[in-house]
């Protein structure tokens, strides 16, 4: 591995349940505001869960031509919008001279299920001739990546990541490796999801994964709280521009922070239940990759789903990795305010982690009113905390036991 190539983040873009755009999303997150509310995407009457963290006030035509918006799925809309914002933020120009040195790793858990549901209903009602010619290209998972590549003329390394809730973190980590290995100078990394649909909500609810605190939507997601009853389904996308440090400095790019380490593994244990030991091993491997001791970490952006088992498992993993230092860490869960963005979670949460480093402030875990005795670390309850953050860990753990950890740090010139 060409370890002398340092990798920095030079652009950020996001579409979240709090806002379209990184700045406003971050502002609201730090204030502890929630993006959760009653479902408006469909009539959820009769559903056990009738709440979600929906993207609001979003117009795809603000980021792409109307024709492209009409033939693509919302998960592609969010991905393109987040990438347009990240590219503008970075100031990166792709042209014939560098297009093969710019790559993309973009992921999704589900793909274009809005398109799939719509076309399946049309097929069942009217037969094969009712299927849209854009049906297949609207829902297959790699089409967000493809549309981004087409929009910018990108011709470098590319892959679509699908590792459940670890997808976004894996996208960042794999992009980081491509630059380290010298296969690219710039990588676009992201994850996008648009799964607030009847079948999605019903399926996750039947698994027992979703909160049914329908009468108090903004209080429904309560990571590490004794009264938690499941996660809140969210939607949106996050995109980061990763860049070789020398390349970034040469073009005078803004630098939000540095990617210091990455690791991924799988539990080999259960389709939904987490394995504490392997979660801990993933974090330890990422710190070793970064060449850091656990005591050097200031903040952990937790996976923090608000499910009964995950929060206990994650707490146990942090104790294994950090030992006595675990009680000195600031730990918080963004999902308490934005819900679980599935593939978008790892990238959006990494964006917020970088902003914690930049702004020296850690967003809170809201709704932590009655801490679970088995979750007894410092989760920054309810109010943001001003503190210096030099090194932070962003954790993502997915169904099937997919684990991913990204270590981020303050850029030290």
d(CA 332, CA 137): 38
Beta-sheet strand order (sheet of 391-398): 158-161, 102-107, 186-193, 236-244, 7-15, 257-266, 402-409, 391-398, 299-301, 330-332
Helix or strand (DSSP H, E) at 149: helix 143-152
d(CA 48, CA 334): 24
Phi-psi category of residue 206: left, alpha or beta, with phi > 0 → left and psi -120 to 50 → alpha: alpha
Q: Confirm whether 340 is a catalytic residue.
A: yes
d(CA 250, CA 25): 30
Q: Confirm whether 325 is a catalytic residue.
A: no
Residue of 77, 178, 247, 303 with catalytic role: 303
- Torsion angle of alpha carbons 64, 59, 241, 179, nearest 10°? -60
Which string of DSSP letters, residue by residue, matches 4-39? T--EEEEEEEEE-SS-BSHHHHHHHHHTT----EE-
Residue of 77, 178, 247, 340 with catalytic role: 340
Q: Which residue has the tokens 């917020």?
A: 352
Q: Which residues contact 165 (CB under 8 A, 6 or more apart)?
A: 109, 303, 305, 340, 342, 343, 345, 346, 396, 397, 398, 399, 402
Q: Confirm whether 270 is a catalytic residue.
A: no
Q: Residue 369 carries which DSSP code?
A: S
With contact defined as beta carbons under 8 Å apart, do 340 and 233 qualify? Answer: yes
Q: What is the separation of C-alpha 302 from the centre of its chain, rounded to a whole number of angstroms?
A: 12
Residue of 160, 165, 221, 375 with catalytic role: 165
With contact defined as beta carbons under 8 Å apart, do 41 and 205 qualify? Answer: no
- Torsion angle of alpha carbons 406, 407, 410, 413, nearest 10°? -100
What is the three-class DSSP state of 154?
coil
Which of the residues are catalytic?
Answer: 165, 303, 340
């Amino acid at each position: 591995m060409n370890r002398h190539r340092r990798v920095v983040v030079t652009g950020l873009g996001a579409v979240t349940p709090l806002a379209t755009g990184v700045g406003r999303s971050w502002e609201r997150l730090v204030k502890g505001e929630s993006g959760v509310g009653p479902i408006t995407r469909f009539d959820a009457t009769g559903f056990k869960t009738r709440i979600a963290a929906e993207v609001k006030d979003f117009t795809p035509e603000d980021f792409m031509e109307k024709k492209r918006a009409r033939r693509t799925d919302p998960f592609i809309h969010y991905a393109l919008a987040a990438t347009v914002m990240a590219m503008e933020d970075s100031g990166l120009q792709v042209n014939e001279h560098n297009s093969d040195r710019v790559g993309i790793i973009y992921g999704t858990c589900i793909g274009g299920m809005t398109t799939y549901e719509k076309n399946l209903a049309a097929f069942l009602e009217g037969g094969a001739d009712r299927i849209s010619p854009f049906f297949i290209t609207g829902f297959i998972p790699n089409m967000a990546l493809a549309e981004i590549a087409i929009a910018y003329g990108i011709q470098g390394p590319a892959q679509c990541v699908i590792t459940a809730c670890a997808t976004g973190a894996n996208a960042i980590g794999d992009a980081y490796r491509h630059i380290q290995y010298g296969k690219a100078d710039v990588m676009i990394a992201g994850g996008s999801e648009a799964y607030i649909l009847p079948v999605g909500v019903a399926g996750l609810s039947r698994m027992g994964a979703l909160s049914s605190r329908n009468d108090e939507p903004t209080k429904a997601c309560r990571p590490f709280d004794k009264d938690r009853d499941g996660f809140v389904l969210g939607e949106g996308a996050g995109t980061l521009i990763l860049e070789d440090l020398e390349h970034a400095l040469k073009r005078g790019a803004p630098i939000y922070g540095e990617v210091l380490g990455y690791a991924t593994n799988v539990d080999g244990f259960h389709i939904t239940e987490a394995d504490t030991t392997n979660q801990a091993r993933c974090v330890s491997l990422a710190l070793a990759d970064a060449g850091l001791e656990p005591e050097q970490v200031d903040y952990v952006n937790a996976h923090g789903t608000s499910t009964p088992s995950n929060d206990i498992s994650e707490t146990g993993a942090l104790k294994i990795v950090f030992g006595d230092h675990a009680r000195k860490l600031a730990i918080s869960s963004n999902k308490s305010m934005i819900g679980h963005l599935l593939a978008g979670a790892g990238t959006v949460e990494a964006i917020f982690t970088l902003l914690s480093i930049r702004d020296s402030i850690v967003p809170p875990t809201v709704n932590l009113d009655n801490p679970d005795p088995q979750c007894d670390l410092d989760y920054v309850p309810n109010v943001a905390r001003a503190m210096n953050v030099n090194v932070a860990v962003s954790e993502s753990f997915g169904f099937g036991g997919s684990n991913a950890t990204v270590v981020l740090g303050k850029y030290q010139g």
